[in-house]
Each structure stands twice: as C-alpha cells, then as structure tokens.
Amino acid sequence: MLTSTWNFLKRHKRKFVFAGAFVGGVYLLGKYAQWKIREIQEREAAEYISQARRQYHFESNQRTCNMTVLSMLPTLKEAIIQNLNSESLTTLLKNKPANKLEIWEDLKIISFTRSIVAVYSTCMLIVLLRVQLNIIGGYLYLDNSIGKNGMAPQAPPDVQQQYLSSIQHLLGDGLHELMTVVKQAVREVLGGVSLKHSLSLQELELHLDQVRAHVEEGCMASPRKPLSCYMMPDEESTLAAQACGLTENDVATIKLLNETRDMLESPDFHTVLSTCLSRGFSRFLDNMAEFFRPQQGDAAHSNAPDSLSHVSLPLAKIIPIVNGQIHSICSEVPSHFVQDLLMIEQLKDFSANVYEAFSAPNERQK
C-alpha cells in the first residue's frame, strides 16, 4: 500500500509541485490584495480626515474674520468722525450764527463725504481682512500639519503681528487719502445743488453714482488710483522702511505683504470689491428709503408700486439723514448693512480660493 502510494507521488511529482506553487501564489496574491486594499482605505481615511480638519480650520478662520471686522468698526468710525466732524457744525447752527448758509454748505459736503467714506472703508476693511486672515490661516494650517517634520514655520507669532499691523494703513494714511478724494468728488457733484432743491430717492441715487464715478474712475484729465492703494502702502515705501538690517521675520513679513498685494491687484479681488461696494451703496439707499416713504394720509401715492419715486425731500432735510448713516454702517453690533456684506457669496468663494491657495503644501515651496 505504501509502495503504491509512493510510486503515485513519484509519477505525479511535477503536477504536485505546480499545484503547490499555484496555491501558494494565489495565497500570496490574496494577502497582497488585502494589504493593498487596506493601504488604500487607510489613505482615503487619512485624506478624508485631513480634508475635514482643513474645512473645520477654514470655517473657524471665517468666523475669526467676521469677529475681527466687527471689533475694528468702532475704530474706523471714530477715525472718520474725528476727521469729518459734522457735530461741531450742527452745534454752531444751534447758535444761529450770521454765516448760517456757509455752515450749512460745509455740513452738506461733510455729511455726504463721511457716509460715503464709511461705505467705501467698511467694504475695503471686510475684503482686505478676508485676504489677510485667509493667507495667514493657510500658512498656519501648513505650519500645524507639516511643521512637525522639522520645517521652520512660515508664520510665527511675530510675523503674524507685524503682517496684520499693515491694516493700520487703511485706518490711517489710506483713509485720509480716501477722504480727500471723496470730499473732492462730493463737492464737484453736490456743491452746486441748492439746500432748497428737492431730491427724490432716484435722484439721490444718481448723485451717488456720479460721486462713485469720480472716486473710482476719475476723468481723462485726472485718472484715479486703484482702490487697492487705500488699503496697502506702496511696495517701494514698504521696502524702503525695511531697507536696513532686515531680519528673518522682516523677510517673511515682506513676502506676506507682497503676496497680499498680488491678491489686491488681481481681477478676482476687483470683482469681489466691486460687488461689495454695489451691495453697500444699495443697502445705504435702502436705509435712506425709509425716510422717503409717503405720509400715511397720502393715499394716492402710498399704495403705488413706485410710491418712493413720488416723494421728494429738500436737500436740507436729507443732510441730517445722510449724516447719521455712519452709525448704522460702522456699527460694531451686527447690523443689516454689515451682515449683508459678510454674507455675499462671491466674498465667501473668494475667501475659500485664497485659503485653498495658501494652505496647499506646494505653496510652501514657493
């Protein structure tokens, strides 16, 4: 029995070898497939966790942007009011001075100037902070996720502070220059309009459009600078101020400033800022419309679809209304004006694109 079995095995030895090799190969292939599937699953899980962490960090960064805007609006409002002080003029008018008409003319220019400047500067503040904080946010994400490999952080606290302090240009020199330009435009558009002249809401909107055209486009004889120049100082002045004894942090800060300047000069930024300005001036007119509604007793016009077009107010009555708009525009309490701007979809998409660009790992190599 054993002899016959042994002879059988000897006769079919090659078949058994091939069968064993085949079975062993199938087993190893199965093990390799299991390992490969597990590797793919682990990689997909890691990518999902990374994307979820990145999305959470981005959303947290946007909340920080919104809170930062609200915290800076009182400073912006105070700077505008101090430089365009209409309250002192209204105090003078209460004393019935001899040059009453002259003071009213000054009040007209200052009231319109400071409310228009408030719209411009609030929109600029919101969009600029979205750019700055998303650039910083992108670098911080990279520093936290990749910095463990021993790479030096690109946005250490000192660099963050130095970089974010550049917002002071908008609150200082940039704001003063913007006030000068807007005041000149208001004087050109409204300087010749009599205080007794009545304006409808539509006519008021036309005057605002004319002021905006002067500010944003200028004229053939005097073309205007781009609005981004009010938000950041010139590149030359920044580098000149840092010319002597540049530290490593100074170099990192200048890199961030140059990247921000590139963003501010991009077509996408121009589109987003224009959208914000259009929404801001639209909301400004909505606030003004509350004062152009027909009186309750005027039944002929109050129910008409275009009832606002039938109401006109003397410019002298419009001035105090315009003058007070700065308090709703630059309100630290979330107002409809600020909320409308913060919720603009183009602004959200632009913010996401900025964050995506600077949180991508290959951005570190630039």
Type of residue found at 117: V
198: part of which helix (H) or strand (E)?
strand 198-200
Q: Count CB atoms within 10 A of the CB of residue 3.
A: 7
Q: What is the pLDDT of residues 73-120, one digit of tens each?
A: 999 999 999 999 999 999 998 888 888 999 999 999 999 999 999 999
Per-residue pLDDT band at 363 (split at 50, 70, 90): very low
State mean pLDDT over 135-153.
75
Indicate if the pLDDT at residue 274 is higher than 70: yes
The pLDDT score that the predictor gives to residue 61 is: 82
The pLDDT score that the predictor gives to residue 115 is: 97
Q: What is the pLDDT of residues 44-79, one digit of tens each?
A: 544 544 555 666 667 888 888 889 999 999 999 999
The pLDDT score that the predictor gives to residue 12 is: 55
SS3 222: coil
State mean pLDDT over 190-208.
94
Do the beta carbons of residue 124 and residue 175 sit within 8 Å? no
The three-point CA angle 143-149-152 to 5° equals 50
The pLDDT score that the predictor gives to residue 1 is: 54
State mean pLDDT over 157-173.
91
